[in-house]
Amino acid sequence: MKTTSSRAYRCFSTLLLVISAAVLLSSCAREETPVVVIGTGGIGGNYQLIGNAIARVTNKNLRSNGFQISDEPSEGSVSNINAVVAGQIQFGIAQADHQYEAVQGIAAWQEPGAQSSLRSVLSLYPEAVTLIAGANAGIETMEDLRGRRVDIGMTGSGTRQNALDALEAADIDWQQDIQAQQVNLEERLAMLMHSELDAFFYTVGHPNTDIKFATYSVRGARFIPLVNINEILENNPFYSETLIPADLYERAYNAEDIETVGVKATLVTSSDVSDEVVYAITKSVFEQLEEIAEYRPVMRNVSQQSMLEGLTAPVHPGAMKYFAELGLELPAPAE
């Protein structure tokens, strides 16, 4: 009996050692898997959710890719581009206008100069420069913004420069003619609904859950069309004329589609990132576009060809390799 018990104990101990070793080896293997980081945006926003979707579909092929993706919240387009070119992250989601400015060395990059290592990977979806006001704020046109509390977006966000472009076209000085605010999206929505803010700008894909929530609030909300759109288009090659369909927001105080301008949300990287990694991510997004679209409605009308549009930085060779395999050609670059 003692012998049997002793044998059983030894077998059990050996089994435990084998299991422990397997767990240890598995843990080491996981630790050694390179991690590729995508900078996204504010938690709960489109950038963060789509970055998470890209990570999820790409990580399905973890073994064959040889790397895993981690998506990280950030302050938005400008900070993502800066982190990518600094080598702090490998990919970032950014608006096409900021991509253009970084490559040209203008706006936020006037002092550091042109960011020659920045590369495009693909376009994601169109984003409309959206101006929304409280329904009872007495704001129906951009002219009504004068003297009012208007959030123009956080420094480093894509929304901010778009707001300034729209205000300039309307001949409104953001430093003198309005009470400019800059708070994060959650605070912005709460302040609008509690009448602590009169209006805010938000560059975003539609339909948008946060804006829909504002339209369903007790105060209600109204979209405000931009003015002098042709002037904005002439001065900025990365914008395109855009409509926000009124039927997407049945509770908004708008009977007609809202005229505005838009830019593309894009995925960017650096020339230092390997062709193999960029190719793998590009392939994953293209091949699992339907799954991403199920996760984020703003991607539902995206096509393979549209993912090559609005790329205002040079395209990374890894992405170009995959485009060539599909027989897709880049459109003529913006002048």
In this predicted model, what pLDDT tens digit does every residue of 194-249 receive, in sequence order? 999 999 999 998 988 889 999 999 999 999 999 999 999 888 888 888 899 999 99
Question: What pLDDT does residue 2 have?
Answer: 47
Q: Tell whether 111 and 159 lie within a shared domain.
A: no
φ/ψ of residue 98, rounded to 5? -75, -35
Work out the widest C-alpha separation in the chain, in whole angstroms.
Answer: 95
150: in domain:
yes
For residue 181, what are its two tokens? 């605010």
241, 263, 285 - which closes a domain:
263
Question: What pLDDT does residue 74 have?
Answer: 92
In this predicted model, what pLDDT tens digit does every residue of 113-165 receive, in sequence order? 999 999 999 999 989 999 999 999 999 999 999 999 999 998 877 789 899 99
Read off the pLDDT of each residue in 257-283 and give the average, rounded to a whole number.
96
Question: What pLDDT does residue 322 have?
Answer: 98
Q: Tell whether 43 and 149 lie within a shared domain.
A: no
Question: What pLDDT does residue 42 have?
Answer: 83
Round to whole Å and give the CA distance between 269 and 80.
10
Q: Tell whether 269 and 121 lie within a shared domain.
A: yes
Q: Tell whether 59 and 185 lie within a shared domain.
A: no
Higher pLDDT, 17 or 314: 314
- Whether the per-residue pLDDT at 185 is higher than 90: the answer is no
Q: Given pLDDT bands bounded at 50, 70 and 90, which one contains residue 9?
A: very low
For the beta carbon of residue 231, count every other beta carbon within 10 angstroms. Answer: 13
17: in domain:
no
In this predicted model, what pLDDT tens digit does every residue of 20-64 receive, in sequence order? 444 444 444 445 789 999 999 988 888 999 999 999 999 999 989
- Whether the per-residue pLDDT at 15 is higher than 50: the answer is no
Question: What pLDDT does residue 85 have?
Answer: 97
263, 291, 313 - which closes a domain:
263
Read off the pLDDT of each residue in 273-288 and give the average, rounded to a whole number.
97
7: in domain:
no
Question: What pLDDT does residue 238 have?
Answer: 86
Higher pLDDT, 301 or 86: 86
Q: Tell whether 228 and 141 lie within a shared domain.
A: yes
Q: Tell whether 120 and 174 lie within a shared domain.
A: no
Q: Tell whether 205 and 233 lie within a shared domain.
A: yes
Please say whether the beta carbons of 128 and 242 come within 8 A.
yes
| Structural domain containing residue 177 | 127-263
Q: Tell whether 165 and 249 lie within a shared domain.
A: yes
248: in domain:
yes
Question: What pLDDT does residue 295 have?
Answer: 82
C-alpha pair distances (Å), 268 with each of 105, 172, 210, 280, 289: 16, 32, 25, 14, 18
φ/ψ of residue 54, rounded to 5? -65, -45
Q: Given pLDDT bands bounded at 50, 70 and 90, which one contains residue 18?
A: very low
Q: Tell whether 204 and 110 lie within a shared domain.
A: no
CATH of the domain at 120: 3.40.190.10
Round to whole Å and give the CA distance between 95 and 159.
9
Question: What pLDDT does residue 241 have?
Answer: 87
Q: Tell whether 73 and 88 lie within a shared domain.
A: yes
Question: What pLDDT does residue 126 have?
Answer: 87
Q: Give how many domains the chain has, as a whole number.
A: 2
For the beta carbon of residue 116, count every other beta carbon within 10 angstroms. Answer: 13
Q: Tell whether 294 and 253 lie within a shared domain.
A: no
Q: Given pLDDT bands bounded at 50, 70 and 90, which one contains residue 17?
A: very low
For residue 72, what are its two tokens? 């990280």
Ramachandran bin of 41, using left for φ above 0, alpha for ψ from -120 to 50, beta for the remaining angles: beta
Question: What pLDDT does residue 333 have?
Answer: 54
Q: Tell whether 227 and 288 lie within a shared domain.
A: no
